[in-house]
Each structure stands twice: as structure tokens, then as C-alpha cells.
Amino acid sequence: MSFSLAATAPPAPPHTGGLLLLVGGTTGLLLVAALGIALLLFLIMKARLQPFVALLAVSIAVGLLAGLSVTELFGTVQRSDAVSTIESGMGGILGHVAIIIGLGTMLGAILEVSGGAEVLASRLLGLFGERRAPLAMGLTGLIFGIPVFFDVGIFVLAPLVYAAAKRGGRSILLYCLPLLAGLSMTHAFLPPHPGPVAAAGLLHVQLGWIILMGVVCGIPAVLAAWAYSAWVGARIFVEVPQDMVEATAEARQAVLREQLASGARPQEKPVPLGTVLGIIGTPLVLILAATFSSIALDPSTGRSVIEFFGHPFVALTIALVLAYYFLGIRRGWSRKSLETVSTASLKPVGNILLVVGAGGVFGAVLKASGVAQALSDTFNGVGLPVIVLAYLISLVLRVAQGSATVAIVTTAGIVAPLLSEGHHSQAFVALVIMAISAGSIFASHVNDGGFWMVAKYFGISERDTLRTWTVLESVLSVGGFAVAAAVSVFV
């Protein structure tokens, strides 16, 4: 059940080439690491290079500067026993991550198109009433954010925020910020989202532990974020953006037309709430059961069956098949429409997978060249706990270049040697991943696409977005890290 690279990079030899010819030993390797990080930030921030290309270019540069040969980096054209560090790094991580992210993305698309989000939000709004509508929106974001990407969640749920804010006659911040907190927490801390899944693959952690620690760290963080949302929403008034109400309605009509053209036949009867919750919860329950069966049960046929159905590949496939049947075929969808929706949902995933794969390459190059070990030795000398270092490194990378995914995969590659020394439990490494994920969402500002999406969809000025959304993300980040650090003391 644990994640492992398909082919590990060769052990770091005593390289004598590259920059080490000028600066010897550990000092040269540390200089290579510093130059590599600086180059990565420059390429992404100043040169505006696509993160996948930037990570790949920096990986090659770091490898050559640290003394790796061309054969060690790329292998050979002829068939031989030479191991390509780049190929093993890319293929090792994507062998696991691509399947999980692909299945999770298709599951989220079916839930989105079938109207599951509207059913969830409407039922919660009716249950909590007008006075507690912000809490209902927060819970909607928290639950629906599990299977869908952050930006998709905003697109689908924004009209519900507009309607709730209009009825309440209060600042839209009271309704959108709790929703955003729920979407952001699940995106940062829980599978099948790319960040935690990629970190689990790079650091060899079972997804069951990621789910458990994601809930343990994420729930207190999102509660703190909801408290901040109520406080700031009562002090800053932002009207419902009428232009976005109209634009979103037009966009949703366009999506509906595409669905009808593909053969989908939407029913007037809404999707049962129990069906939505059951489909979302199925893979989580199966994966958790498989993870802890290895602890609670002795080897047996029953344990093997639980582990089979709880493997992330199988659990997500089961959930997707359930969604196909109960939300699609049983409600009049054609098989062609299901195929169309599923295929369309995978188009935005390519960029994410390439960035994650390039992060795997970066980590493999750091390990093979000896740079990672030099960083590990240096960090050990600093005296800070690894969970604190992981958070700080991720936080700095996030604030500097804006991408949470880049911050996560880069940090995971840097801290991996720290975790390979000693016998750290799966639970502890999962908490380190929570710290990395928490750092990756700190202080979303103008270099983050999410900042502008929030400002645009909810009609918030840049100044007020910094005062609200940026602070909200920082509250989530600090809260999640604080819980991870506290729990790590006992693990």
C-alpha cells in the first residue's frame, strides 16, 4: 500500500565535476542548491516560464553543476544498464499520482455536472436557516471540495453564494470566505488533490495516513478560518457583483448546452443528498479501512480483501463507477455523454501532472547528486525539527513564486533525506506532509492565480482581497501547521 518510486535513482557517487571543481565538498553542494532555488524562482517569477519547464531546466542545471554525468542524467541512446535519473524521477512519481488524480478528477466532474453541489448547498442552507447560511456555505465547500479542484468549486458554487448573500442582505464576504476556506483546506490537505497526493508519492506514505492527518490538521484550521471570516465579514462590506452574477449565469447556460449536445438529459428531480455523500465518502472509508487493517489485523484472506478494495486505485474506481451509474445512467445520461464529460475533465490535468512529474525529477536529481544529503546534514546542524523546516521551506517557496504545487514538490524533494535518516513512522511523515501543505497555502497574493480568481468572482477589490482572502489563507496555513507540529510531539 505504501508509495514507492518505480526505480530509485542511483546512490550519490563521489562526484568531482561541475561546480565542485571550484568549490569543494559540502560547501559546493550547498552552493549548487542555493543557485538552483534562485534560478527556479527567477524562471517562474521574472522569466514567466511555465513551472514544468522551469523545474526540468533547474533539475538538469543542478545535476550538471553538482557533477552528474550526462549518462547519469539522461541514460544512453542504446539499451544498457545505465539508469536515467530524469526518467526514474518522472516515471516513479507519475506511476502512482497520475492514476489517482485522473480518477479523482473524473469523479469530481460527474458530481459537478449532475448537480450534486447545488443539492448539497441547498439542503444545508435549508437545514441551518438564514442566520447560519455562512456556516452552510462553509460546510458545502468542505464536503464538495473533497472531489473537485479549488477553481471548479468556485465556478460551481459562486451562484449559490450570490443568492445567499442577496437574501441575507449582508456582505458577500460572510458567505464566500467560509466557502473558500472549505475548498482551500480540502485542496491543500486531502487526497485526491495533487499536492498531498504528490507529497505522499515522493515521501512514500500511505494515503490512509494522509486522509487521517489531513482531517486532524485541517478541521481545526478551517474552524479558525471560519471564525476569522465571521469577524472580517462583519467589518468589511462588499456588495454582490451583479456583472459576475450575469456572466456566471451565461457560462453555466453554455455548459448546459454542451451537456445537451453531448447527449446528457438532465432530470428535474434533484440528486438525492445521500447519494452524493455516499459517493464522496466511499473512497475515503475504503482507503482508511485498508490502511489500518494492516495495523489491527493479522495477515489473512479477510485483510487481503480489505487492502484490495482499499487501494487508492480500486477505491476511486469504485466511486467513479457508482457516480457513473447513480448520477449518470440511472438519471438518463447516455454512455456517450458520460464519456464526453469524463474526457473534458481531464484536459486541465495535464499541466498539473507535468509539474508533479518535474518535481519528482528535481527530487531524484537532488538525491543522485548528493545535494539533498548536503542539505540534510546542514539542516540537522541548524537544530530545528524537520516538521518546522518543512513548513518554513514550503512557505518561502509559496510566497516567492505563488504556486502551491511547485512549493510542495520542491520542498518534498529537499526534506526527503531528512526523513530517510532514522525510523520515522508513517504517521509522522504524514504530519510532515501536512506541514508542507500548510506552508504551500500561506499568504496567497498577487503572484497566485487563486488570488485573482477570488477577487474576480466575488467582486472584491485588490486591497480588500489582501485584507481578507490573503489573511484567510494565512490563518489556514498557520492553524494547520500548529496542529501538525503539536500532534507530531506525540507520534
- Average of per-residue pLDDT across 188-202: 93
137 pLDDT more than 80: yes
Identify whether the C-beta of residue 290 lies closer than 8 Å to the C-beta of residue 1.
Answer: yes
DSSP H helices in 129-193: 133-144, 150-168, 173-189
Place of cell 509559496: 398
Highest mean pLDDT among 176-180, 202-206, 345-349: 176-180
- Taking 50 as the threshold, does the pLDDT of residue 150 lie above it? yes
Average pLDDT, the chain: 86
Confidence bin at 484 (pLDDT 50/70/90): very high
CA angle 267, 271, 272 (to 5 degrees): 140
The answer, yes or no, to whether residue 148 has pLDDT greater than 50, is yes
Q: What percent of the chain has pLDDT over 70?
A: 88
pTM: 0.86
Compute the average pLDDT of residues 349-369.
Answer: 88
CA separation for the pair 408, 391 (Å, rounded): 10
The pLDDT, as a whole number, for residue 285 is 94
Reported as a single tens digit per residue, the pLDDT across 234-262 is 999 999 888 777 766 666 666 566 656 65
CA pair distance 435, 442, nearest whole angstrom = 11
**Structure confidence at residue 80 as a pLDDT band (50, 70, 90):** low
The pLDDT of residue 1 is 40
Q: In 3D, which of 454, 357, 442, 355 has the Cα closest to residue 402?
A: 442
pLDDT in tens, 315-327: 999 999 999 999 8
Is 58 within 8 Å of 42 (Cβ atoms)?
no
What pLDDT does residue 66 have? 87
What confidence tens digit (pLDDT) does each residue in 36-70 have?
889 988 998 888 888 899 999 999 998 888 888 88
- Joined together, the cell numbers standing for residue 385 give 525539527
Is pLDDT at 97 greater than 70 in this prediction?
A: yes
CA–CA separation, 371 and 341 (whole Å): 44
DSSP 440: T
CB 359 within 8 A of CB 198: yes
pLDDT of residue 264: 53
List the single range of 80-84, 195-199, 352-356 with lowest mean pLDDT: 80-84
Question: What pLDDT is recorded for position 109?
Answer: 87
CA 73 to chain CA centroid, nearest Å: 28
Cα–Cα distance between 428 and 433 in angstroms, integer? 9
The confidence band for 12, taking pLDDT boundaries of 50, 70 and 90, is very low
**What is the Cα 215 distance to its own chain's centre?**
14
Cα 355-359-360 angle, rounded to 5 deg: 120
Block residue for cell numbers 549518462 = 71
Is the pLDDT at 394 greater than 50, yes or no?
A: yes
- Who contacts 238 (Cβ-Cβ below 8 Å, separation ≥6)? 171, 172, 173, 458, 459, 460, 464
Do the beta carbons of residue 180 and residue 470 sit within 8 Å?
A: no
460 and 238 in contact (C-beta within 8 Å)? yes
Higher pLDDT, 294 or 453: 453
